[in-house]
Amino acid sequence: MGPLVINEIISENTNLLLAFFIGIGFGFVLEQGGFSSSRKLAGVFYGYDTVVLKVFFTGAITASLGLLFMSLFGWIDLNLVYINETYLTSAILGGIIMGAGFIMGGYCPGTSFCGAAIGKIDAIIFIIGLFIGVFIFAEGYPLWEGVFKANFMGSPRISEFFNISEGLFALMLIIVAVMMFWGAEWAEKKFPREEY
């Protein structure tokens, strides 16, 4: 059955329309979860507000569990969904640069658009920065093309990498996340902050 567009159950144009509605859902949930506030987002790195960790990991677990169950029931063919390619060097390098940007700017791209949507001027400035950053990458591309394409590993699943079943990995991920949730609740009590 799923993915609908790849099995040609819906057309490409419907797909683009549905992308808009998926975006509305995504933006709505992010904003409701508090991701439109840079101070809430940055809180996770100081322990005073761990909403990022809770929402992000609950979301990732729900999605992977849901997809595995849907595959089990034959509702979606997981061989047909997109799995991002792994280029080891640039994934780590990009992650480090993004981490630095995260702690300085207090947003990530998706959340900054949410912040901008409710009038946060710092979010709008962050978005302008994003455009500049992408533009710098595009213009300087010949300089780092080699790094960008180094250590290509295909599109492996992490369960294949560790050679365990997808279900078992999902269970391990849940256990780790639950422990992090407990740690997060503990940290929020230990590093209380005044409301803002």
Report in angstroms how near the CB of residue 187 gets to another protein at its nearest. Answer: 12
Distance separating alpha carbons of residues 165 and 187, to the nearest angstrom: 33
Interface with another protein, residue 176, by CB under 8 A: no
In terms of Cβ atoms closer than 10 Å to its own Cβ (0-12, 13-18, 19+), residue 104 is exposed
Site string for another protein, 132-151 (x = CB under 8 A): xxxxxxxx-xx-xx-xx---
Report in angstroms how near the CB of residue 25 gets to another protein at its nearest. Answer: 4
Report in angstroms how near the CB of residue 163 gets to another protein at its nearest. Answer: 12
Interface with another protein, residue 190, by CB under 8 A: no
Binds another protein (CB under 8 A): choice among 11, 100, 146, 183: 100
153 and 86 in contact (C-beta within 8 Å)? yes
Interface with another protein, residue 122, by CB under 8 A: yes
Distance separating alpha carbons of residues 193 and 176, to the nearest angstrom: 26
49 Rama sector, left if φ>0, alpha if ψ -120 to 50, beta otherwise: beta
3-state secondary structure of 152: strand
Segment 52 to 71, residues that bind another protein, using CB under 8 A: 54-71
Interface with another protein, residue 187, by CB under 8 A: no
Site string for another protein, 22-41 (x = CB under 8 A): xxxxxxxxxxxxx-xxxxx-
Report in angstroms how near the CB of residue 35 gets to another protein at its nearest. Answer: 8
Distance separating alpha carbons of residues 100 and 138, to the nearest angstrom: 20
Report in angstroms how near the CB of residue 70 gets to another protein at its nearest. Answer: 7
Binds another protein (CB under 8 A): choice among 11, 18, 146, 183: 18
Beta bridge partners of residue 152, listed in sequence order = 87
Interface with another protein, residue 180, by CB under 8 A: no
* Crossing angle for the helix pair 88-105 and 141-148, to the nearest 10 degrees: 120
Segment 76 to 95, residues that bind another protein, using CB under 8 A: 76-78, 80-88, 90-95
Question: Looking at beta carbons only, is 71 or 190 nearer to another protein?
Answer: 71
Beta bridge partners of residue 2, listed in sequence order = 76
* Crossing angle for the helix pair 121-139 and 141-148, to the nearest 10 degrees: 90
Which helix (H) or strand (E) segment holds residue 137: the answer is helix 121-139
Report in angstroms how near the CB of residue 190 gets to another protein at its nearest. Answer: 13
